[in-house]
Structure 1
């Protein structure tokens, strides 16, 4: 199973991106202000941690399509973006480094 297999849903009512992995719900909560989206909390069901990076990649791709900046306040997402700094640098607001 690859990241292409993940179907990402934006649950605007609960302000979270969602995907189902092994019949369980994984979420990334967010808040949005103007042209920035703050990724605040990530929940991965037990036993699905191996799909965490795929989920983050899929959510970042969704946000990139919206032409919106990302402020990763979740430690998992900030760590992922730091590790992949070159690839995701353009998603950060101007002047922000992680």
Structure 2
């Protein structure tokens, strides 16, 4: 992926974050409840997973949630939890009080 910019869309109707890169829809499904957003099913090709797109996509999502403020994340998907652990210092305020990943 040449361009570092991810054009993130919060598709509230389908409850998923989306981006489209070279005609490939990359998405992360979520559900929300009481000021928490549960990040669950990630759909991304192996090629995009390994070329840096996955990290850029998740960074865009986490930054978007951080900017919204007062919302906490619960990373239920394996890739999302792994990303959170790797970036815990930057996003630790997003985790609900008392939860450890």
Q: Same fold (TM over 0.5)?
A: yes
Task: Select which of 82, 86, 96 maps to 1:83.
Answer: 86
- Relative to the length of structure 1, the TM-score reads 0.92
Task: Select which of 56, 59, 64 maps to 1:57.
Answer: 59
Which structure 1 segments of 5+ residues have no match?
none
- Identify the residue that residue 97 of structure 1 maps to in structure 2: 100
Q: CA RMSD in A?
A: 1.0
Question: In the TM superposition, what is the alpha-carbon distance from 1:46 to its structure 2 partner?
Answer: 4.2
Structure 1 runs (4+) greater than 2 angstroms displaced: none
Task: Select which of 64, 69, 72 maps to 2:72.
Answer: 69
Deviates more, 1:80-89 or 1:26-35: 80-89
SS at match of 1:7: coil
- Identify the residue that residue 19 of structure 1 maps to in structure 2: 19
SS at match of 1:54: helix
- Relative to the length of structure 2, the TM-score reads 0.90
SS at match of 1:47: helix
